[in-house]
A and B are shown apart, each in its own frame.
Chain A
Amino acid sequence: MNSERRGPGFYVLTAFFALFVLFLYGPLTTIFILSFQGPNGGLTFPMNGTSLRWFRNLLFEQQAVGDFGGAFTRSLLLGIMTMLTTVVVSLLAGLAFRRRFLGAGPLFYLTIASLIVPSILISLGIGLAFQVFGLEPAWYSSAFGAHLTWTLPFGLLIMFAVFNRFNPAYEEAARDLGATPWQTFAHVVLPIILPSLVGVGLFGFTLSYDEFARTLMTSGTFNTLPLEIYGMTTNVTTPVLYALGTVTTLFSMGIILLALGTIAVLRKRRARRIAG
């Protein structure tokens, strides 16, 4: 196909794609710009001067409503917990599904069901279950479980994609050379799939860090960051809302770039090792 000349379809679709990217990033760019609004500026354009007032207000001053620092800490910890659990549990389940076992079919359909059951049902169900059993819901117990029902199916599907493309010849070679199953896993399988595990971790963290609906009824007394932000939308009418949006979005993007960078480094190192 490479020798073909570009038809008119190419240019039409390029314009369409560019519009799509603008549609994705345009609104985020506007709140990014507006978060630098001057001290007397409002929620919309025009800019009334520029300042860092709203960032200072967000980070260093006591807010009339909400507890930004506490909510951020909880979301961060919950994200890390969800990430680690998602990586370990999906990896184990991915390994299990490489072989035949009784109940593999039902477990697979259950995992897919976890993906299509609406979030608010999970939220309500876990909230009710905790109430019925007389347990106190909290972000580290009920909300943690609620997030896992959303991140684990993604993790498992990524592991399926990885192991479908995995060449068993590597493992056979290791076994022929006398490696134990653990050695085969630790020295052959794990290094090959490591970049994908970073990807699973990225999904686990970001999906949890941004989750709203599943946290709503399961977070207990203390809010996570998305709940805090949602609370702010009804009470806050200053650009501090945009400053918060900018800060958390930059944080998310930082995490994404860190993960992508790690994947790129791991791939490069492996390519170099194979070449050398």
Chain B
Amino acid sequence: MTLTRLAPYLQATPLTLILAAFLVLPIATITMVSFWDYDSIQIFPAFVFTNYEETITSPVTWNTYINTLKFTVIVWAVTLLVGFWVAYYLAFHIRSATTQMVLFLVCTIPFLTSNIIRMISWIPFLGRNGLLNQTLMQLGIINQPLEFLLFSDFAVVLAMVHLYTLFMVTPIFNTLMRIDRALIEAARDAGASGWQILTNVIIPLAKPGIAIGSIFVVTLVMGDFITVRFMSGGQSASVGLMMANQIALLQYPAAAANAVILLILVLLLVGGILRIVNIRKEL
């Protein structure tokens, strides 16, 4: 075999090794440990199904999974709606390529700053004595501060939309930019209204971008625990948070069983999205 034919194998080796060591091996370990047994101080090798049995038969688990799915659906719907229109505006209403690039960067920069800081930054806005409550009271709309703004499911959804919308904007923007403008001209010449162009031309062609954005948002929300913990003030639950709590109590096998179930659920959701939309031509 000549060096030229060997080259791609050598070039792909570092990536393969890193993913084998830090992705495949850890997930194999989780799967293995999910069958282990544990007591209050240590975990030990075994082959028991109790971790799965306890997880699946507990009503708390079911409620937590349902709550996580509820967050996922709401956040997905809101980020899709907001993300699509932001991407649409950038792609079709901004005519200069420079302005387009600048506005896109304006949307991107917060994504590259700390998630924790971005969550903290809602406190002075939503808190009991926060800006929103003060303003509403001054306007005489409410007499007492609204309690549900911070540390509630509302705050969790708001923060997630704040953190994750960009994952929807970028792929949709990318597909919208690739739509041949002649198709839209043709539709208009054929007498289509703006609404018809949107629903019959643009949205069908944007589906791969919508699918990629949806995969991002769904997997991020399904695995989230820090936003739920911080923004709900401990009053709401998610699968990730349940796992984090089990980890804190050193119940690793229980957390591992949960992790396996969560992973299967996430893969099913992603598989479902990929069945509906073919994203292969985007890659």
- Are B11 and A92 interface neighbours, CB within 8 A? yes
Interface digits, A130-170 against B, CB 8 Å rule (1 contact, 0 not)? 01100000000000011011001000100010000000000
A245: interface (CB < 8 Å): yes
Interface digits, A81-94 against B, CB 8 Å rule (1 contact, 0 not)? 00000001110110
Q: How far is the CB of B49 from chain A (nearest CB, A)?
A: 19
Contact of A117 among B82, B113, B216, B263 (CB under 8 A): B263
Whether A31 touches B117, Cβ cut-off 8 Å, given contacts A13-B89, A116-B215, A128-B30, is yes
- Are B26 and A126 interface neighbours, CB within 8 A? yes
A10 proximity list for chain B (CB < 8 A): 93
B107: interface (CB < 8 Å): yes
Complex alpha-carbon distance, A217 and B14, angstroms: 24
Q: Which of B58-66, B122-130, B199-207 contacts A (4 or more CB under 8 A)?
A: B122-130
- Are A252 and B112 interface neighbours, CB within 8 A? yes
- Chain B contacts with A in 228-279, Cβ cutoff 8 A: 230, 240, 243-244, 247, 252, 255-256, 259, 262-263, 266-267, 270
A229: interface (CB < 8 Å): yes
Complex alpha-carbon distance, A103 and B134, angstroms: 60
- Are B124 and A17 interface neighbours, CB within 8 A? no
* Interface residue tally on A, bucketed by range: 35 or more
A261: interface (CB < 8 Å): no
Q: How far is the CB of B241 from chain A (nearest CB, A)?
A: 9
Q: How far is the CB of A103 from chain B (nearest CB, A)?
A: 8
Name the residue on B nearest A214 (C-beta). Answer: B22
Whether A92 touches B112, Cβ cut-off 8 Å, given contacts A45-B134, A125-B30, is no
Complex alpha-carbon distance, A253 and B162, angstroms: 18
- Chain A contacts with B in 67-103, Cβ cutoff 8 A: 88-90, 92-93, 95-103
Complex alpha-carbon distance, A161 and B95, angstroms: 23
Contact of A96 among B12, B18, B219 (CB under 8 A): B12
B225: interface (CB < 8 Å): yes
A20: interface (CB < 8 Å): yes
Complex alpha-carbon distance, A207 and B165, angstroms: 16
- Are B4 and A149 interface neighbours, CB within 8 A? no
- Are A114 and B30 interface neighbours, CB within 8 A? no
Complex alpha-carbon distance, A36 and B166, angstroms: 29
Complex alpha-carbon distance, A206 and B224, angstroms: 19
- Are B240 and A152 interface neighbours, CB within 8 A? no
Whether A230 touches B86, Cβ cut-off 8 Å, given contacts A117-B23, A249-B113, A253-B109, is no
- Are A96 and B9 interface neighbours, CB within 8 A? yes
- Are A117 and B27 interface neighbours, CB within 8 A? yes
Contact of A120 among B33, B129, B162, B240 (CB under 8 A): B240
A100 proximity list for chain B (CB < 8 A): 8
A88 proximity list for chain B (CB < 8 A): 14
- Are A27 and B121 interface neighbours, CB within 8 A? yes
Name the residue on A nearest B161 (C-beta). Answer: A23
A248: interface (CB < 8 Å): yes
Q: Which of A54-62, A105-113, A190-198 contacts B (4 or more CB under 8 A)?
A: A105-113
- Are B134 and A120 interface neighbours, CB within 8 A? no
B85: interface (CB < 8 Å): yes
Interface digits, A230-252 against B, CB 8 Å rule (1 contact, 0 not)? 10010000000110010011001
Interface digits, A195-233 against B, CB 8 Å rule (1 contact, 0 not)? 000000011001101101100110000000010011001
B141: interface (CB < 8 Å): no
A49: interface (CB < 8 Å): no
- Are B11 and A118 interface neighbours, CB within 8 A? no
A sample of 16 inter-chain contacts (CB < 8 A) reads A1-B92, A23-B162, A95-B11, A96-B15, A116-B270, A117-B219, A118-B240, A118-B263, A120-B240, A121-B26, A124-B255, A127-B247, A145-B18, A152-B18, A216-B244, A217-B247
Closest 8 CB pairs of A and B: A118-B223, A125-B26, A145-B22, A96-B11, A27-B121, A101-B8, A96-B12, A96-B8
Identify the A interface with B (CB < 8 A).
1-2, 7, 9-10, 13-14, 16-17, 20-21, 23-28, 30-31, 34, 43-45, 88-90, 92-93, 95-104, 107, 110-111, 113-122, 124-129, 131-132, 145-146, 148-149, 152, 156, 160, 181, 202-203, 206-207, 209-210, 212-213, 216-217, 226, 229-230, 233, 241-242, 245, 248-249, 252-253, 256, 260
